[in-house]
Amino acid sequence: MEHSPWLYAGFLAFVLAALLIDLKVFHAEAKAVTIKESGIWATIWISLGIAFGIGVFFWMGPTSAGEYFAGFLIEKALSVDNIFVFLVIFSYFRVRPEHQHQVLFYGILGAIIFRGLFIFAGIALINRFEWVLYLMGLLLLYSAYKIGRGTDSVHPEDNPVLKLFKKTFPTTSQYHGQKLFVRENGKRVATPLFVVLLVIEATDVAFAVDSIPAIFAITRDPFIILTSNVFAILGLRALYFLLASSIERFHLLKYGLAFILAFVGVKMLAADFWHAPISLSLGVIVGTLVITVVASLKTTPKHEVLEDLPHPEVILDLTDPKQYEEEEAQGPGSDSTL
C-alpha cells in the first residue's frame, strides 16, 4: 500500500517533538527516575500507541489495525526482554541513575533511525527478491531457538563496536556529568557515557535482527511496520525504570517470545500455501504473552534461571545513587580502561 511521503514526515515530526518535550521539558535536569514517574510515562506512551492503533482501525480498516497491534505487541514484548541487557550494560559501565535516562533517550532516537533504514531496505529486498522472506523465516527460527535455550550471554567488554571505537577514538576514563564529549589537553575526547551510548546502539541493531523480520511475517505495509515499531520502543525507557528492579519476575517470558518468533517464522516459510488470518496471528501473540506473564508471576524462578538474571547487587547499584559515590572514581568497568 502506497503512502504519501508527507504522512511519514508528519509522523516522524510528531515522534521527534514528543521525544524533545520528554527530554527538554520533563527531564531537563539530571535526576534519577522514580518508579512512580516511570509508571506514569509508561502509561502515557502505551496509551499513545493504543490510540494510534484505534486511529488506524477507523482510517485503514480492521485488517491494518490488527497488523499494527500484532507488530506493536511483538516489539513491546521483545523490549521487555531487552531490559536485562540494559541492566548489564549500565552496571558494567557504572552509569549513575540520573544519567541513564539521557543515554536511553539518544539510544531510542538512534534506534528509530536504524530501524527505519532496516524496514525500507527490507521491503526493497523483498520486492526485488521474494526468496529473502525464506531467509528471514529461517533467521526467526534460529532466533527463537537462541532465546528459548538462553544461549545469548551479555559481555559489554567483548562488543566489537566498542573495541573498534577504543582503537580509533581517544576516550577518557572519567565521567563528566551528562557530557558525551569533553576537551582534555586541547583534544576532543569521548566520555564513558558516549561509549555506553555506542554499546546500547550496537545492541539495539542486534535486537532489530529479531524484531524487524518478525513483523514482515505479519504485514508488508511500511507505514504499519514503522509506526508499530516506533510506538513500541518509545516507551522502552519508562519500562526500563519501571521493571529494572523486578525483571526476574518475568523469567518465563523468553519462552513466550521464542514461541512467537517460531510461529511467525513458520508463517513466513509457509506463506506460499498457508495464509494465516491476522486474527489468528494476533490471538496467538496475545494468548502467548498473557500465559507466559501470568505463569511467570505465579511461579518462582529456578536456580539456573536466577543465575542468568542480574545479581541483586547490580540492581541496587542501578537504583541507589549512593552506591556510585565510591565507585565513580574507579571509572567504568570492573577492570577495564577506556
Q: What is the pLDDT of residue 291?
A: 92
Q: What is the pLDDT of residue 56?
A: 93
Q: Residue 178: inside a domain, yes or no?
A: no
Indicate the average pLDDT of the chain: 77
Q: What is the pLDDT of residue 306?
A: 45
Q: Which residue has the cell 568497568?
A: 333
Q: Residue 163: inside a domain, yes or no?
A: no
Per the structure, the count of domains in the chain is 1
Q: What is the pLDDT of residue 316?
A: 37
Q: Residue 215: inside a domain, yes or no?
A: yes
Q: Residue 302: inside a domain, yes or no?
A: yes
Listing DSSP states for 148-216 in one string gives HHT-----GGG-HHHHHHHHHS-B-SS--TT-SEEEETTEEEE-HHHHHHHHHHHHHHHHHHHHHHHHH
- The domain in which residue 56 lies consists of 31-153+207-330
Q: Residue 16: inside a domain, yes or no?
A: no
Which cell is 312 given?
A: 541483586
pLDDT mean values, one per 10 residues, the chain (338 residues): 82 84 62 74 89 94 92 84 76 79 82 86 85 85 81 61 75 76 81 85 76 83 91 82 70 84 85 77 88 86 52 40 46 46
The whole-model pTM stands at 0.77
Q: Residue 108: inside a domain, yes or no?
A: yes
Q: Residue 292: inside a domain, yes or no?
A: yes
298 close to 252: Cβ distance less than 8 angstroms: no
Q: What is the pLDDT of residue 210?
A: 66
Interhelix angle 192-216/253-269, rounded to 10 degrees, is 50
Q: What pLDDT, in 10s, does the model give residues 185-214?
A: 778 888 888 888 888 888 777 777 767 888
Q: CB neighbours (10 Å) of residue 293? A: 17
Q: What is the pLDDT of residue 52?
A: 94
Q: Residue 174: inside a domain, yes or no?
A: no
- CA–CA separation, 82 vs 253, rounded Å? 11
